[in-house]
Structure 1
Amino acid sequence: MRLVLVGPPGAGKGTQAAFIADRFGVPKISTGDIFRANVSQGTPLGQEAKKYMDAGDLVPDEVTIAMVRDRLAQDDAAEGFLLDGFPRNVHQAAVLDDILTELGARLDVVLELAVDDEEVVRRLSGRRTCRSCGHVWHLEFDPPSAEGVCDACGGELFQRDDDRAETVRHRLHVYAEQTAPLVGYYGERGLVEEVDALGPVAEVTERAVAALERAAGRVAPEA
């Protein structure tokens, strides 16, 4: 199965991607993983990306796309993959279509993890991170025993800038403008399966797997 995972920040894409990739026996491919692999291996693309990352700038589309193209051409992705974090916009989606055509493949399904904005703000703004060990707690879902103190190591807990409510709302605005249109782009081709991302992780995983199995039943064998 070749699938793309979409959803707003805080929808649980990273968690679900790991479970789904394992369930269907395909590699989980995220742009973050691709960047880190290329940078650590010192590839020409990695060196190019590192210049932007070190300067605090976004890696340009052409560099990201080149990395994705290289990754999808690797042997372990020949029979399927799960893409998380790519494409991020309709332009990248069109390029992905071209890449898959070059590889003689096609996308089978786009899994959308659906969650409303206020739930995302609630999930992310409640997170607190330990300065010492990096463990992440949540004031509502997984609170520490003592306010501001990490149960694991006794370190100080703090709220990352990315987790502040105003920052989360800005990220949601960017998602709505740039990434959400993917649902319409792929929906016109009947590729989208929407999954309610509210509830315990295991329940969301069950819904996601059921949706993907339904989609797999509709996918005709490739010529």
Structure 2
Amino acid sequence: MNIILFGPPGAGKGTQAKKLQDEFNIPQLSTGDIFRAAIKNETPLGLKVKSILDNGELVPDETVVDLVADELSKEKYDDGYILDGFPRTVAQAEAFDEYLKDNDDTLDAFISLSVPEEELVKRILSRGEGRADDTEEKVKTRLKVYRKETKPVLDHYQKQGKVHEVNGLGTIDEIFNRIKSTLK
């Protein structure tokens, strides 16, 4: 089963992806985790990404697509995967569609977590990741970038009939149960 978990920063994608990973025994691919590891290890990609993220901007499409395609070529993703934080732009979505076609694969579900903006700001500021962009002003910039550049990805997959909207408010388990119901 190939799943995209979608939503704005703070919607709970990472938390739900980990629960889905345990439930369905398929790996999660989080571009955020890959970027954080690269930043922590101070790799050339990590230093480049840190500078971009510190300004509240998105990493260029080509860099992200190459990273994801390279990661998905690993054997552990042969039986399915959960994408968390990818695709973030229509260009990435189109490149991913091409990747699927070229690899004779399909996307089974696009789960969109819906959470009001006030709640997103509250969640991000309280999670304490220590990111340089975790200030209210930077969070609002990230959400603005999300609306402008990332939300159109939802329209892209709606045209394909793949989108399942899930209410992202409630306890972690309540949200997880909604996602599981959607996947059945």
Q: With the length of structure 2 as denominator, give the TM-score of the two structures.
A: 0.85
Number of the residue aligned with 2:56: none
1:79-94 alignment to 2 at 5 Å? 79-94=79-94
Deviation readout 1:173-212 (Å, 9 max, x if unpaired): 1110011111111011110011101011110110011111
Q: Which residue of 2 aligns with 1:198?
A: 169
* TM-superposed deviation, 1:167: 2.2
Residue in structure 2 matched with residue 114 of structure 1 by the alignment: 114
1:29–1:84 contact (8 Å) kept in structure 2: yes
1:85 shift after superposition: 1.0
Q: Comparing both chains, which one has the higher relative contact order based on Cα–Cα distances under 8 Å and sequence gaps of 6 or more?
A: 2
The DSSP-based 3-state class of the residue aligned with 1:113 is: strand
CA distance in 2: counterparts of 1:47 and 1:161, whole angstroms = 18
- Unaligned regions of 5+ residues in structure 2, if any? 54-58
> Cα deviation per residue 1:49-80 (whole Å; 9 max; x = unaligned)?
245246x1365332321121111111111121
Question: 2:27–2:81: 8 Å Cα contact kept in structure 1?
Answer: yes
Cα deviation, residue 91, structure 1: 0.3
> Which has more radius of gyration?
1
Unaligned residue ranges in structure 1 (runs of 5+)? 130-135, 137-158, 214-223
Are residue 52 (structure 1) and residue 23 (structure 2) matched? no
Letter matched to residue 70 of structure 1: D
**Residue 92 (structure 1) shift:** 0.2
Distance 1:122 1:35 in 2: 23
- Give the alignment of 1:64-75 within 5 angstroms: 64-75=64-75
Q: Distance in 2 between matches of 1:21 and 1:65?
A: 22
How far apart are 1:164 and its partner, in Å? 2.7
Say which SS state the counterpart of residue 180 (structure 1) adopts: helix
- Correspondence for 1:147: none
- SS of 1:11 mapped into structure 2: coil
Seq. identity, %: 41
Aligned-pair CA distance for 1:37: 6.1
Distance 1:37 1:162 in 2: 17
CA distance in 2, matches of 1:50, 1:103: 28
Task: For residue 36 of structure 1, report the CA deviation from its aligned partner.
Answer: 5.7
Could you tell me whether the CA contact under 8 Å between 2:11 and 2:120 is conserved in 1? Answer: yes
**What are the residue-to-residue correspondences of 1:23-38 with 2, within 5 Å?**
23-35=23-35
1:89 and 1:205 mapped to 2: Cα distance?
Answer: 25
What's the secondary structure of 1:66's corresponding residue? helix
* Counterparts in 2 of 1:71 and 1:118: CA distance versus 1, 3 Å: same
Q: CA deviation at 1:160?
A: 6.2
Aligned-residue CA RMSD in angstroms? 2.5
